[in-house]
Chains A and B, each alone.
Chain A
Amino acid sequence: MSLVSLRHLTKTYQRGPEKVDVLKGIDLDIPEGDFVALMGPSGSGKTTLLNLIGGLDSPSAGEINIKGQRIDRMSGGQLAQWRADNVGFVFQFYNLMPTLSAQKNVELPLLLTRLSGAERRRRAEIALKLVGLADRGKHRPAELSGGQQQRVSIARAIVSDPTLLICDEPTGDLDRQSAEDILGLLQSLNRDHGKTLIMVTHDPKAAEYAQHTLHLDKGTLVENAEASA
């Protein structure tokens, strides 16, 4: 059974008097436990598709079915709760809270749960350990390297144990070595922990870490390619 199922997914933006069709009737199934790289030129609709799957945006038409739930029919409040329960996000520029320690950043999604403070701390410590930053919990983002910040961001994404990880250019701001470390970590989360990952990337080398690569061009899926992972 597919974890993500998209049917006739369309997204149209109004730019002044002009209508821009960003996504043109996408049909897609992503099984649970998959690691999909989403590639394509700028403006092809990759991030829009990622935002729709992550419940950050709503489609103009079509269906988004994730884990059996039609998220395109959910209200803003329902979507917020759904995201908290089901999705972890990893951004290109990490988007950590600069005033909070790594530990507190990781705890953020757990504030939306009924867990006690001690349990939140415990889980954040486990997540930080999983990304190899057990000894960096008290550090603020500015005291960490780019690669370490992205690891904290991944720890934040997985701390509430979501099924789906959405990664938007997670290595776009990193040097080659850090990028490889991060991609290795994402691959491990997929392989060893069964997380389903959808990753937007411009980098073919990054896409090689995924099980499948999807290509988008002008709002349409143009080919499916097997990756060498």
Chain B
Amino acid sequence: MKYFHLIWAALFRSKTRTLLTLFSVIAAFLLFGMLDSVRVAFTSGGNSVAGADRLIVSSKLSLTQMLPVSLARQVETSPGVKQSTFAAWFGGIYQDPNQFFPNFSVGKNFFDLYPEYVIPEDQLAAWQADRTGAVVGASLAKRHGWKIGDTIPMQATIFPRQGSNDWPMTLRAIFHVEDQTQQGQENQLMFHWEYFDEANDYVKSRIGWLTVQVDDINHSVDTAKAIDALSANSDHETKTQSESAFQQSFAKQFGDIGLIVTLIMSAVFFTLLLLTGNTMAQAVRERIPELAVLKTIGFSNHSVLFLVLAEAILLIGIGGLIGLGLAAALMPGVSAASGGVIQLPGVPSQTWIFGLALMALIGVLVGLLPALRAMRLNIVDALAGR
């Protein structure tokens, strides 16, 4: 590319201005890379149960609608189901509501379906033998200084117990998650569903959702259909989905992630467009005599148009690639911090492709007007400084 040195030299004619603009572009694309990665995580791939080993069965109406526990027994014998368990959201707090962590009641065999939660056998047996026993992740235990045998005085926010919000539990087991990116899942507390069911004042024989392990992942779709057929046309119709889709639905309760990301990024890129557009216009204005000289020595109108456009695209491209690269480097940390809800080892390819398209589009948009001005430059007037 024989014009590259010419474009590069023009780009860094005013180093300070270019670097400041570059920082803005980097910041914008860093933000884009991270937010769009999250958006992709929330919107893609999870809707299909095909190939999924673990499925989640929940109310078709809303995640807050509970299901009858009798459904668990029916699901257990449904075709394609290897084993199943169930859980119910508790939503309790410990001391400070601001230090919230997920907590829910689970069936006795819950940990059989979650081998990634590693629990010493004696602790697991101790938990199973204690009706008010609790299991917590190692990170959570470390944060609060809990040891095996400690009483954890949980406070109910939804389900009172004998007219009181006090739900004392005894810590019987601590689980570890070995996958570094999933260690956020150690920030959970589980306790017996039987205890929850017997002791709470509001609901009886109700569960929040079921976790199903399928016999054959190639038949996940059929298995899901068979499970949903069990409650078809009842007052508790179910929706069976992959685990990741369930997690996404859960997170979506807090807001429309796609819309939020789109709104934030629209504002960011609109600002970027104004900022870099102004920079490019100023850069070209300062170089009118130089561009006139290029045309004088034989550069065509289209060559000059190309040079200015390429400069704008290069500016956005460099900043964009650095920004997305930084986002890719930071995403594993975000994944870990999300507790496994957002499972992203880096910036997904979908975000890279979208990002590259955005770089080209913004580059063309900010470069087009100055480039047209350069193209239409009258040599005689420009050389005369008119």
**Bound CA span A98–B13, Å:** 8
Contact with B along A46-84 (1 / 0, CB 8 A): 010001001011000000000000000000110011011
CA distance A97 to B293 in the complex (A): 9
Quick check: B297 and A89 within 8 Å, CB to CB?
Answer: yes
Q: Which residues of A contact B13 (CB under 8 A)?
A: 98-99
A108 close to B (CB within 8 Å) = yes
CB-based contact B9/A83 at 8 Å: no
**Using a CB-CB cutoff of 8 Å, which residues 75-131 of chain A contact chain B?**
76-77, 80-81, 83-85, 89, 91, 95, 97-100, 104, 108-109, 111-112, 117, 120
Q: A80-B298, A81-B300, A97-B9 are in contact. Are A111 and B293 (CB under 8 A)?
A: no
B301 & A95 in contact (Cβ 8 Å cutoff): no
Chain A residues with Cβ below 8 Å from B294 are: 108
Report chain B residues within 8 Å CB of A98. Answer: 13, 290
Q: Does B143 contact A (CB under 8 A)?
A: no
With A77-B300, A80-B295, A95-B293 in contact, is A56–B9 under 8 Å at CB?
no
Contacts of B384 in A (CB 8 A): 47
Cβ proximity bits B181-206 to A, threshold 8 Å, 1 near / 0 not: 00000000000000000000000000
Asked if A99 and B9 sit within 8 Å, CB to CB, the answer is: yes
- Complex Cα spacing A108 to B297, Å: 8
Q: Would B297 and A83 count as touching, CB distance under 8 A?
A: yes
- Tell me if A212 is interfacial: C-beta within 8 Å of chain B: no
Q: How far is the CA of A229 from the CA of B28 in the complex (A)?
A: 65
B5 interface contact, C-beta 8 A: yes
Q: Which of B5, B295, B296 has a CB less than 8 Å from the CB of A104? A: B5
Q: Does B353 contact A (CB under 8 A)?
A: no
Does A151 touch B at the CB level, under 8 Å?
A: no
Which of A54, A109, A111, A156 is the one whose CB lies under 8 Å from B6? A111
Q: Are A99 and B301 in contact (CB under 8 A)?
A: no
Instruction: Report how many A-B pairs have Cβ atoms within 8 Å.
Output: 67
Is A117 touching B2 in the complex (CB atoms < 8 A)? yes
What residues on B are CB-neighbors of A54 within 8 Å? 296
Which chain B residue shows the least CB distance to A47? Answer: B384
Interface positions of B from 67 to 104, Cβ below 8 Å from A: none
Q: Which residue of A lies closest to B3 (CB)?
A: A111
Partner of B301, one of A51, A76, A104, A108: A76
**Complex Cα gap A108–B294 (Å):** 8
How distant is the Cα of A112 from the Cα of B13 in the complex, in angstroms?
A: 22
Q: Does B379 contact A (CB under 8 A)?
A: yes
CA of A100 to CA of B383 in the docked complex: distance in angstroms? 19
Q: CA separation between A80 and B300, bound complex, in Å?
A: 6
Interface size class, chain A: 20 to 34
Assuming A76-B301, A95-B289, A99-B12, is B296 touching A56 (CB within 8 A)? yes
Q: Which range holds the interface residue count of chain B?
A: 20 to 34
CA of A181 to CA of B252, assembled, Å: 78
Q: Is the interface of B mostly helix, strand, loop or mixed?
A: helix
Nearest Cβ on chain A to B129's Cβ, whole angstroms: 78
Say if the beta carbon of B114 comes within 8 Å of chain A: no
Q: Are A83 and B298 in contact (CB under 8 A)?
A: yes
Highest count of chain B CB atoms <10 Å: which of A80, A100, A120: A80
Q: How far is the CA of A57 from the CA of B294 in the complex (A)?
A: 15
Please indicate the chain B residues that have their CB under 8 angstroms from the CB of A156 in the complex.
Answer: 297
Q: Does B380 reach chain A (CB closer than 8 Å)? A: yes
The answer to whether B301 touches A77 (Cβ under 8 A) is yes
In the assembly, what is the distance between CA of A47 and CA of B5, in Å?
32
B 15-54 to A, binary, CB cutoff 8 A, 1 in contact else 0: 0000000000000000000000000000000000000000
Nearest A-chain residue to B302, judged by Cβ:
A77
Instruction: Report A127 CB to chain B, min CB distance, Å.
Output: 13
Query: With the chains together, A111 CA to B297 CA distance in Å?
Result: 10
Q: How far is the CB of A188 from chain B (nearest CB, A)?
A: 22
CA distance A81 to B290 in the complex (A): 18
B354 at the interface (CB under 8 A from A): no
The answer to whether B299 touches A95, judged by C-beta atoms less than 8 angstroms apart, is no
Counting CB contacts under 8 A, is B273 at the interface? no
Check if B380 sits within 8 Å of A51, measured CB to CB.
yes
Least CB distance, A141 to chain B, in whole angstroms: 11
- A-B residue pairs in contact (CB < 8 Å), sample of 25: A56-B296, A57-B380, A77-B301, A80-B295, A80-B298, A80-B299, A80-B301, A81-B298, A81-B300, A84-B299, A85-B298, A95-B289, A95-B383, A97-B290, A98-B290, A99-B10, A100-B6, A104-B5, A104-B9, A108-B297, A111-B3, A111-B6, A112-B297, A112-B303, A156-B297
* Residue ranges of A at the interface with B (Cβ–Cβ < 8 Å): 47, 51, 54, 56-57, 76-77, 80-81, 83-85, 89, 91, 95, 97-100, 104, 108-109, 111-112, 117, 120, 156
Q: Shortest 5 CB-CB distances between A and B: which pairs? A: A84-B298, A99-B9, A95-B293, A80-B300, A83-B298
Given A56-B296, A80-B299, A108-B294, 15 new contacts (CB under 8 A): A57-B380, A76-B301, A77-B300, A80-B300, A81-B298, A83-B297, A89-B296, A89-B297, A95-B293, A97-B6, A100-B5, A108-B6, A108-B297, A111-B2, A120-B2
